[in-house]
Each structure stands twice: as structure tokens, then as C-alpha cells.
């Protein structure tokens, strides 16, 4: 069993608890144990905090990292926004002495110190990583293949970009997420401009909601164009933007899509035999029932 400190973030536990529940259960079936990271906070939101004062962003993220350093466990998480904060701040502070000293000066006030002794991983990359899990192991864990469903993959931005500082390779047309999706028995579909942003990041969702929704809408048009039955992603914030965004788009623009949006962990949970109730899919704004009837 590979053990990790499970960094929850905000939206997964507090809006889509199915993401949290499915992450814990699905990962265990492929040999990954998620331990609670007690006392963790918001990552903090890279768009909001980063825009206000990067130094606070560094310090707040560092505090979360120190909690895991004290557990002597690497962190895993299920949100691209959290990945941006936790992975990137870890990376920056490991490599930038000046910033690390500044952060540690502040952390000293609460008897903490950033040491740089752990690594940070997105659960999806652990799933894909042959050394930890790998696509085959995911495939082997499937009991209820989600056959017949066309799934539009949404990679999101902050997991893989900026490419140079990350380790995921190509960000123009990556295919690794498609492999993970195909492992569940469903068909990943290609659609126009799949790497485009969901529109929510950088504080834009709060600052100018119709602007953010217009970006989302463009993606939804492209997804509908290829007849996708659902969208899957690895970021609850993107999920929120696509899921609740569809309701807001209907209200503000009048466009109706009804395309269910599921976190990859939720999809994996279904494929491993979890029921829709186990995943609290009823909390999704877009009704998942037609999709569930198609695949289950």
C-alpha cells in the first residue's frame, strides 16, 4: 500500500463530497491509501490569494505542506487549483532560498518550519504512474465497465501548465487522461480546443461571471458538437464551473446542454461498482440519471 497525506481543499469536501468519498475508496482498490491531513486549510485559492499577495499565498500553502512534512508523507490531492498552490509552492520554496527564508520567518511565529522534505502528487498522476498504479491496474479494478458512453476529457490548466515547470510533457494535445478514461470501458472523445480553460480561474468567476460563463459555454458547444455523454475532469473547481455553470448559462444566456460533469474519481467509483448514492451524484446541478442509465 502506498500511503499519502490526502489534501482535500475546499470544493471537493464542501460542495462535491462524492469526489472525496470516491477518491478514498477507489484509490484503496489500486493500492493507494489516503490518510487525513488534519488541520489543512484552503490551499489557498491561487487565483484569489496569488492575485492579492503572492507572499501570503506562499506562506499559507507552506503551512499545509508542513502538516504533511510532520506526517512524513507525500501529499496527494484531487484538485488542479490545489495542485497549483501545493505543488508549485513546494517546488518554488525548495528551489528559492530567499523565498523559503521569508516564508520560514513567518512560519516561525506559529512554530512551524518548511523543510522541503516531501513531494506533492495529483491522484490522477499516481493513477497513471506505472510505478504506483498504472492504467492496467485501473483497468483490472473495474467491475462495471462504463461501456457505450462517450466521455469528453477536460484536463484543466493548473495541473499541466506551465509545462516547463511541470513534468507532464505536451500541453497542446496530451492523451494520458484519455488512457485513464478508456480503462473504465468508456470512449474518450476528441473535441475542438480540448485544452481550453473552463473559464473559472484567476478569480474571473467571481469578478465577471458572464465572462467566465462565456468561456465555459464555448467549451460546452465544442463538447456537444461531438456528442459527448458526459464531461470528466480532475478538478472540482472546473467541475463546479461546468456543472453549476450550465445552470447559470441557462439563466443568463438561455442555452441548455444538460451534459453531466463527473470527477474522474466519481467515474472510477461507478466503474468499480459504487452506486450513484455512494457518490452523492444527486448533489450535482446537472442530472446524471440519463448518463447513469446509459452506462450502468
Partner 1 sequence: MAAKSYNISELDNKLADRRYHLADSNPEFTQKILKTSRTIANMCYQCGTCTGSCPSAPRSSYRIRLFMRRCVLGLENESLTDPDLWLCTTCYSCTDRCPRDIAPTDVIMAMRNLAFKRDIIPKNFLQTVQLIYNSGHGVPNNDVNRAARTKLGLPADPPTTHTYAEFIPGIQKIIDHYELKANADRILKGD
Partner 2 sequence: MAENTEPRIGVFLCHCGTNIAGSLSIDDVVNYAKTLPYVAVADQYQYMCSTPGQKKIDDAIKEHNLTGVVVAACSPRLHEPTFRTATREGGLNPFRFEMANIREQNSWVHMHGMWDEATDKAKDQVRMAVAKAAKLEDLIPKSVPVEHAAMVVGAGVGGMQAALDLASAGIKTYLIEATPTIGGRMSQLDKTFPTLDCSQCILTPKMVDVGRHPNIEMMTYTEVENVEGYIGNFDITLRKKARGVLTPTEATAKGIVGGGCNGCGDCTDVCPVIKPNPFEMGMAPRKAIYIYHAQVMPLIYTVDFDSCVKCGLCVEACGEKKAIDLEMQDEFITVKVGTAIIATGFDLIPIEGKKEWGYKRFDNVISSLEFERLICASGPTGGHLIRPSDGKTPQAVGYVLCAGSRDNTGGVAKPYCSRFCCMYSLKHAHQMYEKIPGCKVYLFYMDIRSFGKAYEEFYYRIQNEGAKFIRGRVANVLEDPETKNLHIFAEDTLLGRPVDIEVDMLVLAAAIEPKEGANVLRKKFGVSASQDGWMLEAHPKLNPCGTTTAGVFLAGVCQGPKDIPDTVAQAEGAASAASIPIHMGEVELEPYFAICMEDLCAGCGMCVNLCPYSALALIEKEGRTVMQVTEAKCKGCGTCGGFCPGGAIKMQHFTTPQIAAQIDAFFAGGVQ
Cα R_g (the chain), whole angstroms:
19
**What nine digits make up the cell of 255?**
442555452
What distance in Å separates the CA atoms of residue 61 and residue 292, rounded to the nearest whole number?
37
| Sheet with 150-154, edge to edge strand ranges | 187-188, 150-154, 230-233, 261-263
Among 246, 233, 251, 229, smallest CA distance to 284 is for 246
Binding of partner 1 by 286 (CB under 8 A): no
Give me the residue label for grid cell 499559507.
60
Q: Which of 51, 147, 258, 289 lies at the binding interface for partner 1 (CB under 8 A)?
A: 51
What's the sign of the alpha-carbon dihedral 281, 282, 286, 292? positive
Residue 173 or 293 having the CB closest to partner 2: 173
Residue 179 or 278 having the CB closest to partner 1: 278
> 82 phi and psi, to 5 degrees?
-60, -40
Which partner from the list partner 1, partner 2, none does 158 bind, CB cut-off 5 to 8 Å by kind?
partner 1
Binding of partner 1 by 142 (CB under 8 A): no
Which partner from the list partner 1, partner 2, none does 192 bind, CB cut-off 5 to 8 Å by kind?
partner 2
What distance in Å separates the CA atoms of residue 211 and residue 142, rounded to the nearest whole number?
39
Strand 32-36 relative to strand 187-188: parallel, antiparallel, unpaired?
unpaired
In the three-class reduction of DSSP (H, G, I as helix; E, B as strand; rest coil), residue 5 is classed as strand
Which partner from the list partner 1, partner 2, none does 50 bind, CB cut-off 5 to 8 Å by kind?
partner 1
Binding of partner 1 by 8 (CB under 8 A): yes
CB 177, min distance to partner 2, A: 16
Instruction: Please name the residue ranges forming H helices in 183-288.
Output: 204-207, 209-225, 236-253, 264-271
Which partner from the list partner 1, partner 2, none does 280 bind, CB cut-off 5 to 8 Å by kind?
partner 1
Residue 192 or 250 having the CB closest to partner 2: 192
Binding of partner 1 by 211 (CB under 8 A): yes
Residue 37 or 132 having the CB closest to partner 1: 37
Q: Which of 212, 220, 230, 268 lies at the binding interface for partner 1 (CB under 8 A)?
A: 212
Show the binding pattern over residues 241-280: x = contacts partner 1 (CB under 8 A), - = does not: ------------------------------------xxxx
Per DSSP, what are the bridge partners of residue 230?
151
Q: Which run of H or of E encompasses 122?
A: strand 120-122
Q: Which of 59, 77, 93, 118 lies at the binding interface for partner 1 (CB under 8 A)?
A: 59
Q: Which of 68, 215, 223, 238 lies at the binding interface for partner 1 (CB under 8 A)?
A: 215
What Å distances lie between residue 222 and 109, 112, 296, CA to CA? 50, 47, 26
Residue numbers at the binding site for partner 2 (CB under 8 A)? 164, 170, 172-173, 192-193
What distance in Å separates the CA atoms of residue 66 and residue 61, rounded to the nearest whole number?
9
User: Which residues contribute to the site for partner 1 (CB under 8 A)?
Assistant: 8, 10-11, 13-15, 17-18, 20-21, 36-42, 44-56, 59-60, 63, 96, 106-107, 109-110, 112, 157-158, 161-164, 171-172, 195-197, 199-204, 206-208, 211-212, 214-215, 218, 277-280, 282-283
Amino acid at each position: 500500500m502506498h500511503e499519502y497525506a490526502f489534501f482535500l481543499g475546499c470544493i471537493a469536501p464542501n460542495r462535491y463530497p462524492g469526489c472525496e468519498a470516491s477518491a478514498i475508496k477507489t484509490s484503496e482498490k489500486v493500492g493507494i491509501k489516503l490518510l487525513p491531513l488534519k488541520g489543512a486549510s484552503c490551499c489557498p485559492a491561487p487565483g484569489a490569494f496569488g492575485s492579492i499577495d503572492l507572499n501570503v499565498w506562499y506562506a499559507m500553502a507552506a503551512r499545509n505542506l508542513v502538516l504533511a512534512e510532520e506526517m512524513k508523507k507525500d501529499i496527494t490531492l484531487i484538485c488542479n487549483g490545489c495542485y497549483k498552490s501545493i505543488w508549485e509552492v513546494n517546488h518554488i520554496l525548495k528551489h528559492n532560498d530567499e523565498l523559503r527564508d521569508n516564508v520560514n520567518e513567518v512560519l516561525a511565529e506559529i512554530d512551524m518550519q518548511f523543510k522541503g522534505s516531501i513531494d506533492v502528487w495529483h491522484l490522477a498522476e499516481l493513477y497513471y504512474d506505472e510505478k504506483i498504479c498504472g492504467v492496467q491496474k485501473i483497468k483490472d479494478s473495474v467491475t462495471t465497465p462504463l461501456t457505450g458512453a462517450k466521455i469528453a476529457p477536460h484536463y484543466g490548466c493548473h495541473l499541466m501548465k506551465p509545462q516547463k515547470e511541470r513534468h507532464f510533457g505536451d500541453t497542446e494535445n496530451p492523451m494520458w487522461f484519455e488512457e485513464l478514461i478508456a480503462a473504465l470501458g468508456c470512449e474518450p472523445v476528441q473535441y475542438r480546443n480540448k485544452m481550453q480553460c473552463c473559464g473559472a480561474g484567476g478569480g474571473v468567476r467571481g469578478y465577471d461571471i458572464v465572462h467566465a460563463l462565456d468561456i465555459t459555454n464555448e467549451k460546452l458547444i465544442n463538447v456537444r458538437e461531438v456528442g459527448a455523454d458526459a464531461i470528466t475532469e480532475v478538478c472540482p473547481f472546473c467541475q463546479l464551473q461546468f456543472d453549476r455553470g450550465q445552470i447559470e448559462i441557462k439563466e443568463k444566456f438561455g442555452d441548455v446542454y444538460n451534459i453531466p460533469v463527473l470527477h474522474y474519481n466519481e467515474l472510477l467509483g461507478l466503474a468499480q461498482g459504487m452506486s450513484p448514492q455512494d457518490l452523492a451524484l444527486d448533489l450535482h446541478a446537472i442530472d446524471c440519471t440519463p448518463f447513469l442509465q446509459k452506462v450502468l
